[in-house]
Amino acid sequence: MASRFELLVFDWDGTLLDSAAAIVDAIKAACRDLALPIPADEQARHVIGLGLHDALRYAVPNLPEERYPSMVERYRHHYLRHDHELQLFDGAAAMIAELAAAGFLLAVATGKSRLGLDRALRSSGLGGYFHASRCADECFSKPHPQMLEELMDELAVAPGRTLMIGDTTHDLLMARNAGVACLAAAYGAHPAAALDALRPLALLLEIEEMAQWLRTNA
């Protein structure tokens, strides 16, 4: 592999883990439990990658602040019922192992909580490959650049040597705000046209295409 980049930062949900549909279903089920208006799939998918409270503000915009704890509890209830069934995208584990063997620094920047990410890293078996991670309950939510800025500081890598890889406009805007290049995973939560409008280095339609792009260009 070439060495254009030193640090590769991956989003988790919708980029490595095939979880977008489960997140949408949990949001809609939580709204149903609380007799709230049920968002359309597109509206619910848009919030994937955000911190949970920012996600609720968008998905359920008229929800009073005092009802947030109930909404969070119901969302977590429904998501965790199926969390153990979720799988990495085909080829994701092999790609991460290959990148680690090639000497890249690997990190995760996610809208998950720390508890949720740690659980996902253990269950997926990928935890040992990542040198650092940041979660939505530790930093400002995407698209604020704090996650990337802290990862670059921790691993001593400059923005020009860092690549953000994600499936949402929140990921790509976070990269732009941090002065970092980005790749778009167009098989995830957000429409390809919305991702492409933010001018990523490439728009990738499946994991194997991403792995090949990284072999050739990273």
Which one from 11, 54, 167, 171 is the annotated catalytic residue?
11
Catalytic residue list contains 90: no
Catalytic residue list contains 54: no
Length of the chain: 218
Cα 184 from Cα 200, distance rounded (Å)? 6
Respond yes or no on whether the N-terminal peptide bond of residue 143 is cis (omega within 30° of 0).
Answer: yes
Q: State both tokens at 15.
A: 């980029």
Which one from 13, 54, 167, 171 is the annotated catalytic residue?
13
Closest by CA to 30, choosing from 69, 61, 74, 85, is 74
Backbone φ and ψ for 88, nearest 5 degrees, come out as -65, 150
Closest by CA to 97, choosing from 74, 130, 137, is 130
Q: Report helix, strand or coil for 166.
A: strand
Q: Which residues are annotated as catalytic? A: 11, 13
